Structure formats: C-alpha cells, structure tokens
C-alpha cells in the first residue's frame, strides 16, 4: 500500500489538494545508516508499526518520507490530518502536509545533501511559491527537529534562490569539461530568435568530437 514516488510524481499528486503549510521533520531514528538503497518500504512499515502500535496513532504520522536517494514513500492518505506538530495539525479541509526526511540531521550526524536535499528543496519551493508557510517542527516544540544541522534561514535561502535552467546547467557542465570557455556568450545567444557565430559553432563541434574519442 505504500508507494515509492519521485518528486515530480509527488508534486503532480499534491496539485489535487490544497494543503495549508509544509511541515518539515527528520526521522532521527531510523537514520541514513539504516537505508540500504532498496528498503524504502520496509523502513516505512517499521515507522507505521511504531506509530500505530507503540504511539497508538490511527496510522503512520506522516504523509510522506523522503529517503536519502531523493525518492518519497507515501504514508497516510494526503487528505487526512497528520500527527505532525501538536496544535498545528489543522482541521478538516485545512490540512498541513507533513514530510519526514529520513536521517538524523543534528550537527555531526547525517548530512542533508545530494538528491535528498534537492527533493526537499523542490517540495518546499512548491509550497513557498504559493505563499504557504514552511514550518520546522522545532518552531513549535522543544526539539531540534528537523535537526540542528539545518539552519532555517539557510534552508529558506536555498528554497528561494533562482533555479538554474536546463541550459545553464548544461553550459556549466561543458565549461567544466573545457568544451565551452565563454559561457556568457552561449547563455546570451543560444536561444530562440538569436544567432550564434558559425566559427564558434564549428569550434564547439570539434571539441565535442574530441571529447567523444
Ligand atoms: Zn519532528
């Protein structure tokens, strides 16, 4: 019943709802060392078991868990109130969306980075762009959750910094491979309605050919 989904799939599903806020947590336990690359569902079932049988909740607390590989595992139905933050779990029809990031992000423990960081930023961006509040658990609880290693101001700056286009990312890659050394030129001219110098295009083709050898 739990499903593994990508950030794109998650955002598509979220578009069918109107959650009021995004609540961000870390699981603390289990943490990165418990993830082996393929046990997404087993970890989620372990959490549900703990939440239902030990904590006595109606279901797993969270709507989704974000794994270190950047994929999400679904939890409780998206239209049901989470067991997220005491006093902040909303009411019928006004439900915050709760994500648990698998890891212990207190300083000196796991690092939020790579695909996991990219996915949480995309999710947070989705809410922030709609003017919806991104709430860290610790804002309303005497806990460090989602971890002392994640500074809220830093996090929001990442959420709000301009996102690079596919072209910008591609050009950066080519600069790193020394195929392009005038990135500004290509960013300015390699687009609809503009033209590029034939000599530059020839150079580009030759450098690519060399790289492919
Ligand atoms: Zn929490």
What domain range includes position 195?
A: 166-212
CATH classification at residue 82: 3.40.80.10
CA of 65 to the centre of ligand 1 (A): 12
Domain boundary among 160, 178, 199: 160
Q: What is d(CA 52, CA 48) in angstroms, rounded to the nearest whole number? A: 6
CA of 130 to the centre of ligand 1 (A): 23
Q: Strand 133-136 and strand 64-66: pairing?
A: unpaired
Residues measured by CB to lie within 5 Å of ligand 1, the ion = 25, 137, 145
CA of 22 to the centre of ligand 1 (A): 12
Domain boundary among 119, 139, 160: 160
Contact 125, 81 (CB under 8 A): no
pLDDT along the chain (213 residues), means of 10: 97 98 98 98 98 98 98 98 97 96 98 98 98 98 98 98 90 93 93 93 93 83
Q: What is d(CA 42, CA 89) in angstroms, rounded to the nearest whole number? A: 26
Total domains present in the chain? 2
> Crossing angle of helices 114-128/152-160, nearest 10°?
70
What is the pTM assigned to this prediction?
0.82
């Amino acid at each position: 019943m739990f499903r593994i989904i990508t950030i794109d799939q998650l955002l598509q599903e979220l578009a069918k709802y109107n959650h009021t806020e995004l609540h961000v947590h870390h699981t603390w336990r289990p943490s990165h060392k418990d993830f082996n690359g393929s046990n997404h569902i087993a970890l989620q079932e372990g959490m549900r078991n703990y939440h239902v049988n030990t904590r006595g909740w109606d279901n797993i607390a969270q709507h989704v868990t974000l794994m270190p590989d950047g994929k999400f595992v679904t939890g409780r139905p998206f239209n049901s109130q989470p067991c997220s933050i005491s006093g902040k779990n909303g009411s019928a029809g006004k439900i915050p969306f709760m994500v648990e990031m698998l890891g212990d992000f207190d300083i000196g423990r796991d690092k939020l980075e790579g695909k996991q960081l990219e996915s949480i930023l995309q999710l947070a961006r989705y809410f922030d762009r709609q003017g919806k509040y991104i709430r860290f658990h610790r804002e309303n609880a005497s806990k460090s959750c989602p971890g002392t290693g994640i500074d809220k101001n830093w996090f929001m700056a990442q959420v709000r910094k301009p996102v690079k286009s596919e072209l910008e990312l591609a050009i950066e890659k080519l600069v790193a491979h020394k195929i392009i050394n005038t990135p500004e030129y290509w960013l300015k001219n390699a687009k609809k309605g503009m033209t590029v110098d034939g000599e530059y295009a020839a150079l580009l083709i030759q450098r690519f050919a060399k790289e492919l050898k």
